[in-house]
Structures are given as structure tokens and as C-alpha cells.
Amino acid sequence: MISLLGFLITVGILVTFHELGHYGVARWYGVKVLRFSFGFGPVLISRRFGRDQTEWALSAVPLGGYVRMLDERDRRDDEEPIAEGDLPRAFNRQSVWKRFAIVAAGPLANLLLAVLLLAAMYMVGVSGYQPVLSQPAAGTPAAMAGLQSLDRVVAVNERPVTVWQDVNRQLLSAGITSSAVLTIERGSSSFKAPLAMAAMAKDDGEGPPLERLGLHLYLGAPLIREVSADSPAAAAGLQPGDRIQAIDGITLDTPSAMTARLNRAAGTTVELTVMRHGATLTLPVTPRQETAASGKAVGRIGVVLTGDPEVGERYRVTVRHGAVDALVLGITRTWDLTALSFKMIGRMIIGSASLKNLAGPLTIADYAGQSIQAGFQQFITYLALISIGLGVLNLLPVPLLDGGHLLYYFAEIIRGRALPERVIEIGQRIGLALIITLIVLALLNDFSRLLF
């Protein structure tokens, strides 16, 4: 129920803002707006306001909305002819530049919303963890760069970072074709650590990209939060609250390190060094070999892990900014995330990134519910990220999307006249096929993530 509520709130806010972008610029240019609908389908409630008596409607299906402008091409047979005095205000009679601006205003409104939401969060204060690293796995770029547990990242490519989210964003923005230089503090000294980024291209759809570089946030020894019944962990005597200090004598400083070692030990017995109520225990456990959604063999013992809460409190910080700095940061982060989204789409098109990165409505609803439960800040941040995604999606040059219309208008600008109706019709069919394909892929990914 919370996921459904979160999804409806998210879609309602983002699509309404999107349509307000179209509406505002249309009114600015004098185009007559016939209806602004919250939702699709049959109209439940409507009222007319303003000189043009625009109908503001609440419709039955709360999954978006739309703006209907006066347009000679989509007049229904049961409607009265357009009044002679209104013809100059029809959308289809506007210059190509005005039509371009009206259509572009929707996705740009979503990007503007993201800027405002992020700026507000920077002013209120953004909570996060200081970028202190755990021990990287051998052979990873981080290990080859000489990084160690408790190293603190203070800058990426000379750009200062304060929280782990900054490191993640800067490295993702750097791209896989270049190297990144981390400025590291270790004790009282500091040094530069060049990091080969190509490993991020080895995308198997499992885990965050930074983990492929060997970069993990230091979270302390893994703490067991839950133990599944009839699991290898239960058989070994593990209990909620146990702190896992080491596996086969190798010290652990983050839950992901434990997960990685258990995956490599699938089907073989390992010894866990466990701290329980101040006493140290050694418990043998045999990870059960299972198959992940990606098809890879993994080792699982049936526990839910979390980081050390004391470590979390020690490294948690809240960063606040003034209004001007917050707005600049909101613009910068929106720009970076928009560019990153286009890069990821490009990588998926050429096959260097997995199509498993596509998320559909089920995943969006699930994350929306999780973010609502996590708190107001997390939900606002999530809303900003989805708003950027919606803006980017609608700017893609795919017919039926805003970007497809912009593509037609750009061709009209180059040719000096509109494209033939036959070309537009073919484009619409291609666009519909592409959109249906993307929806199917996204839904398959949703079911894979949520059910398996």
C-alpha cells in the first residue's frame, strides 16, 4: 500500500509539473489551452477558469495528466468549428520556434523541479557518510592504487568531496574511458591515487558501479540483523546481534566484504569469528550455493546484514548550505545526473551497459515506498532523481515522446517546411514499437528484481 501511495504521489507531482511546463509556455505565447487534466480517462470533476475558460479537470486514472491546446488537426467531429478569431491562437499555426519551445518546456520543467528540490535539500541539510573506505578486494583498481581500509577521500579530480554520495557522483560523471585521481588522507598525510575506470564497464547488472572499482564505504564489522529459519546460518548457531569480525581469519570491515567472501566460498565450509555479548566465538558455516538473477553462482547463509551502528554514527555528517550555494549545487548536480543519464542510455544502446539497468513502474513504486518510509529527505531526493529521469526520457528523439516532436521541428527548421504527414506517421509507428519494447524490458527487469 505504501509503495502504491508513493508511486501515485511521485507520478502525480512529476507529471503535473511536466504538463505545467507545456501549459505555462503555451499561455506565454498566446496559445489557447482547452483543458488541463490531472489524470487520464473519464473526467470526474471539472471547473472552467480565466478569459479562455480553460477546463481544469480531475480524471479517473491518476497516472499522469495532459494539456489539450487548440489545434485544427485534432478537432473532434462533435465539436463546433473553431471561431475565426481563435485561429491565430491554434498551436498548429504557431511558428516552429514557438512550437519547439512549448514542447521542450515539459521535460525542462522536470529538470527545473529537480534543481529546486535538490537546492531545498542542500539548504535544509543533506545527511550522509564521510567518504572513508573499506579494504578493497585484491586485484581491483582500488587495491592496485594502494588504497587501504580507513583511507578518507577528500577530492576526486581536484573537486572536493564531503560525503560518499559526492564520490559516487564524481566518479560516475568521469566516465569509463578516463582515469580518475583521488586525493586521499591517511592519518596525518595525504597523497594522490590514480584509479583506472575501465573496470566500471564490466557491467553484469550486479552491484553498484563503484564496487567494480573496489571502492566500498567503511561500515565496520558486519552485524547480523536477521537469521532465516532452516538456513546454514541457523544451523551454525548464528543469532541476530552477532558481529562478524572475520572469515577464515581475514578481517571484515563492511557487509559487502562478507558477502563477496561467502560468494567465493559457496559449497565449502568457512570459519566465522563472531563477537557475541563481549565474547569471541568461532563458528563453522557452509554457504549454500544458489543462482542469482544474473545467472551467477553465489554463496548464501540466510542472514540479513547491516553495518556497525556505532561506526555509522561516528562517520555520519549533515552538510548545510546557504541559498545561493544550494542553488548552484542543485544546478550542478542536476546537470551531472542528466549527463550521466544520457551516457548510460548511450552505453545501453551500444551494448557496453546491461539492459538490466532499465527500471519499470514496479521498481519505481517499490523505491518510492522505501523512500517514504526512510524519511522526508530520502523521498524528496528520490523525487528529484525520478524527475531528472522523466525529463531525460522525454528529451530522447523517439516519436511519440516530446523529443520526437522536437526532432520533427528541428527537421522543419532545416528544410524550411514541415515533414510530410506520411513520414511523421511512419515515425509514430516506429516510436510506438520502441516504447512498447522498452516497457516490456523494464517490466521483465522489475519482475526479476522483485520476485527472484
- 250 close to 335: Cβ distance less than 8 angstroms: no
Q: How many CB atoms lie within 10 A of CB 316?
A: 12
Cα–Cα–Cα angle for 91, 92, 96, rounded to 5 degrees: 95
Q: What is the pLDDT of residue 346?
A: 80
Catalytic status, residue 412: no
Residue 372 scores a pLDDT above 70: no
What is the mean pLDDT of the segment spanning 39-65?
86
- 432 close to 424: Cβ distance less than 8 angstroms: no
| Exposed / middle / buried, residue 289 (Cβ in 10 Å: 0-12, 13-18, 19+) | middle
Cα–Cα–Cα angle for 241, 246, 247, rounded to 5 degrees: 110
**Percent of the chain residues topping a pLDDT of 90:** 34
What is the mean pLDDT of the segment spanning 225-239?
91
- 376 close to 14: Cβ distance less than 8 angstroms: no
Q: What pLDDT digit, counting tens, does each position of 103-131 carry?
A: 999 999 999 999 999 999 889 887 888 99
Residue 18 scores a pLDDT above 80: yes
More confident of the two residues 54 and 364: 54
Lowest model confidence (mean pLDDT) among 211-215, 345-349, 366-370: 366-370
Residue 204 scores a pLDDT above 60: no
* Average model confidence (pLDDT) across the chain: 84
CA-based nearest residue to 385, from 340, 422, 326? 340
Q: What is the pLDDT of residue 451?
A: 54
What is the mean pLDDT of the segment spanning 141-169?
89
Q: pTM (2 decimals)?
A: 0.71
DSSP state, residue 321? -
Residue 205 scores a pLDDT above 50: no
The CA distance from 425 to 432, in Å, is 11
Residue-range domains of the chain with CATH: 141-212 (2.30.42.60), 223-307 (2.30.42.10)
DSSP secondary structure string, 135-157?
PPPTTSHHHHTT--TT-EEEEET
Q: Confidence band (pLDDT; 50, 70, 90) for 2?
A: low
Q: How many CB atoms lie within 10 A of CB 106?
A: 26
Q: Could you give phi then psi for residue 100, rounded to 5 degrees? A: -60, -45
- 101 close to 315: Cβ distance less than 8 angstroms: no
More confident of the two residues 387 and 41: 387
Q: What is the pLDDT of residue 11?
A: 77
What is the mean pLDDT of the segment spanning 5-25?
84
The CA distance from 2 to 10, in Å, is 12
Q: What is the pLDDT of residue 243?
A: 93
Q: Which of 19, 84, 206, 313 is catalytic?
A: 19
- What is the three-state SS of 328-365? HHHHHHHHHHHHHHHHHHHHHHHCCCCHHHCCCHHHHH
